[in-house]
Structure 1
Amino acid sequence: MQIKESPEEYDVCIVGSGAGGGMAAHELTKAGANVIMLEAGGWFDSEDFAMFTWPYESPRRGASTRLQPFGEFDACFGGWDIEGEPYTTTNGTDFDWFRGRMLGGRTNHWGRISLRFGPDDFRVKSIDGLGDDWPIGYEDVKPYYDRIDKLIGVFGTNEGIPNEPGGIYMPPPEPRCYEHLIKDACDNMGIPCIPSRLSIITEPHNGRAACHYCGQCNRSCSTHSNFSSPSVLLPPALETGNLEIINGAMVREVTYSDGKATGVSYVNKEDKQEYKVRAKVVVLAASACESARLLLNSKSPDFPDGLANSSGTVGKYLMDTTGTSVAGLIPDLMNMPAHNEDGTGGMHLYIPWWKDNSSLDFPRGYHVELWGGRGMPSYGFMGGIQNYSDLYQDRPKGGGGYGKQLKEDYRRYYGSIVGFSGRGESIGFEENYCEIDPNVVDEWGIPVLRFNYNWSDHEYRQVRHMQKTFRNIIGEMGGTPLWDMPSREDGYGISTPGEIIHEVGTTRMGDDPKTSVLNKYCQAHDVDNLFVADGGPFVSQPHKNTTWTILALSMRTSEYITDQMNKGNL
């Protein structure tokens, strides 16, 4: 294959356009750097998507597709199963790898839950002896959390919880009806239930309109009121004139010569030709596993096991959030009068971690995401209505899917289901990893990843606690869980590794080059003009959603790159 090489040398080449890549582009172009961004997916503009499309306007009524596994109105194109892009697992293990193939990547998918890591999250080994401490602390990252709060906008309240640090918040929306009932039950049980912290603006901000509470954030936002990289970070970067974006660029490897990264090579998905881009600095922000894949595929005499991998830790210490859910039918919410409770897309309240681990049989913790209410009906909505009604014997038998009884059931049960989803911290182990499969390549001939991942007893005991807690809250509300408590053989209902889409840790930072890939500025120990700006640098995986910390670390790393370039060190 003839390789076409770009005649221009850019200051920085960024691989990936999501949270880390978008923030790096925003900061570096503002500082005057000439930046090229490579994105494997296509162009996306939130103003052109289906924000106000009614489900009945589609023959599928919003049902999922292979390319949109969360429904055809969900704004993220990609998924766990992408044609031409396989991945494999080792015998006896399982891992689900979700990829966003579009401009902005998975920032078009996430629920905008924007939680800061707390002081304890950076020194976990010092607290419980498991995993490793980060080479940085909360005070190192706090200034960048503050800056992204101001830049992007986030609502919430400052509660003064020590390891749940507050931020610079806009007013949160009022709780919905079912959320008030959940809070009442939690207050009775001594469980904190506080306003959510979501990156959805409730006031006009930086030229963007306040959220108008249509409740459809997963569809993208034509008013740019919620955060995604294409909506908030990339437009200002493009306006500088310093950013070029190439879509459909499937990056093969980072090129290397004489101790330096020299750029990247990629396959253009349309013409199937390979191209090389030259750059003084390379920033990998393709997602934790994809960036590890690129490094492992970038082999040379200096790095026979993959670029920047003298430690042998690239791909190792892979972590994903634990998850499990319980739903319940609440009689007090049955036969409710019709009312509008849309609000923002996602929860208005959530439960932060509140327990003391000294009294528990597992380390670390979890937060709880609440769901329910009178959401937009679409395909599969209330599909289990027959099961709900089985909990109450006064329902007439027969009928079911047609006619008067169906209408009566909808009026009775619509909005009466509440749900609780736990999102917990897993422990980082060297034995959980991704590596290159020696026998499988993707559509473009690039070797794919093979995953090896197992939950430990720590995670199983944590999820058992979630299940019991959620069932107790439903009981306090006077409700009934919709399904029985899962057994140990069923893993207490724990999610498949990767399913929660919070994977981190494959290129972790540290002070010792023998045990880490990056230094505290996310700069490769082995190659000083190579950086990683996604979830890969994480040393531990706190239960808080990862995006806000990816943004903060990317901003911090970009500031360091600018400083080092100005000093002539890169």
Structure 2
Amino acid sequence: MRRVSIDEASSREWDVVIAGTSFSAMFFGHGLSPDLNVLFVEKGTEYPHSDQLESGWAVREAFNQRNSSGLKKDWIAFTLFGGNSNYWWGNAPRQHPDDFALNSKFGVGMDWPITYQDLEPFWERAEDIIEVAGGLSDHILPRRKPFPYPPHTPSRADVALRESSPLWVPGASAASNGGSRPTCCVNGVCRICPIDAKFTVLNGLDKLTHPGAHYLFGTEVRAVDIEGGLASGVRVKTADGDEARLRSSIVALGTNGIFNTAILQRSDVRNDALGKYLHEQALIDVHVDTANIKAFFGGTSETGHGYHFYHNIDRSTAGAGLIETINAPVSVRRERGKWANRIHMRIAVEDLPLAENRVFLEDDEPVIEWTGYSDYAKRGVERAKASLPDIIPDTIEHLWVSDLLPSEAHIQGTHRMGLSAEDSVVDDRLRLHSTPNVYVLGSGAFPACSPANPSLTISALALRASEAVK
């Protein structure tokens, strides 16, 4: 890894400057032509996996939020080399084909300017790099080729569920099951995997490294210099408070939907959609205590997905939901002889992005205004809760469902993609409509809220965007 100082970085002109070092930034850099000189600018520091195990979490961002929803709401982001890739749970499903045509098919929300088929080759490349393990889901999510690695061993509950319906399938996981990393040890503390089985930027750097990459740490990109419809570089600030200008032919923002927005707003980018439509999935936790089905003994922490509330359903009035079956950490019953008779699940329901949920600048720093989930999401949650007993192939002795959880750790929206600057911020290659040599990466570009976890799609979109760089 070639590290540079702020003086060295500001003394030369770069082909590409990329803000951030998590999924979107690193996959974008990986896809660039190898003859380019690329500078990654990371606000955090290098924090090796061994140090994380010894000392715990890196810096978690404390966002300024005005929450009028009446419910606790958290937005989760970590500042270090590799960003949130260090602490994701490792779920890597594709989105559903219907996610890309929400408006044209169901009359709500906004269509993506690309299709499932447009993104498939880039999902495939990302799955190979991440070494995704999965299988038996092509009847729901079409695939041109199998997963890179086989699915993890199902739990006993997964076996029973899959025998009852083809809508129960193995989960797509970034926890290793035969790849270059150690095989998942199923301990349920996946945020910091103790054996480094889960893909991160740190343990995947040998595959992701761009041959012309340099790295500047402890430095925050604050704004993009734009004049005459083109960017000429970025303005940065070090942890010591020093400011500098970095010159570049191409600028890519790969922080997250909150910080990307703040950078563009400081850059005086004028777009009516910028900062608006902040969203993520509405998440509930579920325990189903059964008469006969026993759980546990699966090969990773989350072993299955259920598409009963997602595949071939009406999404015109209520959001779709993806079911995740949880194998670890354990949740057991108290009754003698039935300690394992519990199916633990989480259900993530899509939201309908609202303009009033937004990010704006105050005293030059981002502020979140959160008014709550849409009624569309709430109806989706209620539909899933009401239909749960119908999809469990056993007598239910007790059913417990949580309130909406405070966070799914997915920051989405605020610079959504679309065909026109009239209702979107970036085009289908994530280029800023008003400034075509600025790429705004990550799930902030999502124009709609798929129930699926976003990391794989973030990576695929970044690879696709990198193809547009000349």
Question: Displacement of 1:47 after TM fit?
Answer: 4.7
Q: 1:341 to 1:559 in 2, by over 3 A?
A: same
TM-score (norm 1): 0.73
Q: 1:258 to 1:167 in 2, by over 3 A?
A: same
Match of 1:119 in 2: 97
Match of 2:3 in 1: none
Match of 1:427 in 2: 352
Question: Displacement of 1:431 after TM fit?
Answer: 2.7
C-alpha contact (below 8 Å) 1:504/1:535 kept by paired residues: yes
**In 1, Cα distance between equivalents of 2:316 and 2:105:** 15
Match of 1:62 in 2: none
Matched residue of 2:113: which SS?
A: coil
Question: Displacement of 1:238 after TM fit?
Answer: 4.6
Match of 2:36 in 1: 33
Question: Displacement of 1:515 after TM fit?
Answer: 1.7
Partner amino acid for 2:368? Answer: R
Match of 1:173 in 2: 152
Matched residue of 2:121: which SS?
A: helix
C-alpha contact (below 8 Å) 1:116/1:549 kept by paired residues: yes
Q: 1:237 to 1:466 in 2, by over 3 A?
A: closer
Q: Is 2:251 aligned against 1:343?
A: no
Match of 2:65 in 1: 88
Match of 2:260 in 1: 291
Map 1:18-57; keep pairs closer than 5 Å.
18-28=22-32, 31-50=34-53
Match of 2:397 in 1: 479
Match of 1:272 in 2: 241
In structure 1, runs of 5+ residues without a counterpart are 54-71, 300-306, 376-381, 393-408, 487-492, 565-570
Match of 2:280 in 1: 320
**In 2, Cα distance between equivalents of 1:93 and 1:261:** 41
**In 2, Cα distance between equivalents of 1:165 and 1:123:** 19
Match of 1:397 in 2: none
Question: Displacement of 1:15 after TM fit?
Answer: 0.8
Match of 2:58 in 1: 77
In structure 2, runs of 5+ residues without a counterpart are 1-5
Indicate the structure with greater strand content: 2
Q: 1:530 to 1:353 in 2, by over 3 A?
A: farther
Q: Is 2:88 aligned against 1:110?
A: yes
C-alpha contact (below 8 Å) 2:298/2:327 kept by paired residues: no
Partner amino acid for 1:423? Answer: A
**In 1, Cα distance between equivalents of 2:243 and 2:412:** 29
Question: Displacement of 1:351 after TM fit?
Answer: 0.8
**In 2, Cα distance between equivalents of 1:21 and 1:536:** 13
**In 1, Cα distance between equivalents of 2:242 and 2:74:** 30
C-alpha contact (below 8 Å) 2:154/2:303 kept by paired residues: yes
**In 2, Cα distance between equivalents of 1:215 and 1:196:** 17
Map 1:248-259; keep pairs closer than 5 Å.
248-259=218-229
Map 1:133-532; keep pairs closer than 5 Å.
133-163=111-141, 168-169=146-147, 170-183=149-162, 187=164, 190=165, 192-204=167-179, 208-211=180-183, 213-215=185-187, 218-221=190-193, 225-232=197-204, 234-238=205-209, 240=211, 242-269=212-239, 271-299=240-268, 307=269, 309=270, 311-330=271-290, 332=292, 341=297, 343-344=299-300, 346-354=301-309, 356-358=312-314, 362-372=317-327, 375=330, 389=334, 415-436=340-361, 438=362, 441=363, 446-470=364-388, 476-481=394-399, 483=400, 493-496=403-406, 499-532=407-440
Question: Displacement of 1:543 after TM fit?
Answer: 0.9
**In 2, Cα distance between equivalents of 1:209 and 1:150:** 13
Matched residue of 1:283: which SS?
A: strand
Partner amino acid for 2:264? Answer: L
Matched residue of 2:444: which SS?
A: coil
C-alpha contact (below 8 Å) 2:318/2:379 kept by paired residues: no
**In 1, Cα distance between equivalents of 2:174 and 2:312:** 29
**In 2, Cα distance between equivalents of 1:10 and 1:528:** 17
Q: Is 2:469 aligned against 1:551?
A: no
Question: Displacement of 1:40 after TM fit?
Answer: 1.9
C-alpha offsets along residues 438-464 of structure 1, whole Å, 9 cap, x if unaligned? 3xx5xxxx4222323322221111111
Question: Displacement of 1:413 after TM fit?
Answer: 7.0
Partner amino acid for 1:526? Answer: S
TM-score (norm 2): 0.87
Map 1:555-566; keep pairs closer than 5 Å.
555-561=463-469, 564=470
Partner amino acid for 2:322? Answer: H
**In 2, Cα distance between equivalents of 1:501 and 1:468:** 26
Question: Displacement of 1:25 after TM fit?
Answer: 2.1
Partner amino acid for 1:425? Answer: E
**In 2, Cα distance between equivalents of 1:361 and 1:123:** 12
Question: Displacement of 1:42 after TM fit?
Answer: 2.0
C-alpha contact (below 8 Å) 2:108/2:316 kept by paired residues: no
Q: 1:210 to 1:425 in 2, by over 3 A?
A: same
C-alpha contact (below 8 Å) 1:39/1:246 kept by paired residues: yes
C-alpha offsets along residues 369-398 of structure 1, whole Å, 9 cap, x if unaligned? 1124674xxxxxx7xx8xx54xx5xxxxxx
Larger CA deviation: 272-281 vs 9-18 = 272-281
- CA-based RMSD of the aligned residues comes to 3.1
C-alpha offsets along residues 184-237 of structure 1, whole Å, 9 cap, x if unaligned? 5xx1xx572111111233223xxx2451535456254576543112221x3345
**In 1, Cα distance between equivalents of 2:173 and 2:348:** 16
Question: Displacement of 1:476 after TM fit?
Answer: 2.7
C-alpha contact (below 8 Å) 1:157/1:166 kept by paired residues: no
C-alpha contact (below 8 Å) 1:322/1:495 kept by paired residues: yes
Q: Which has the larger radius of gyration?
A: 1
**In 1, Cα distance between equivalents of 2:375 and 2:461:** 31
2:16 pairs with one of 12, 35, 40: 12
C-alpha offsets along residues 107-164 of structure 1, whole Å, 9 cap, x if unaligned? 1222222111232221111111111112211221111112222233211114333456
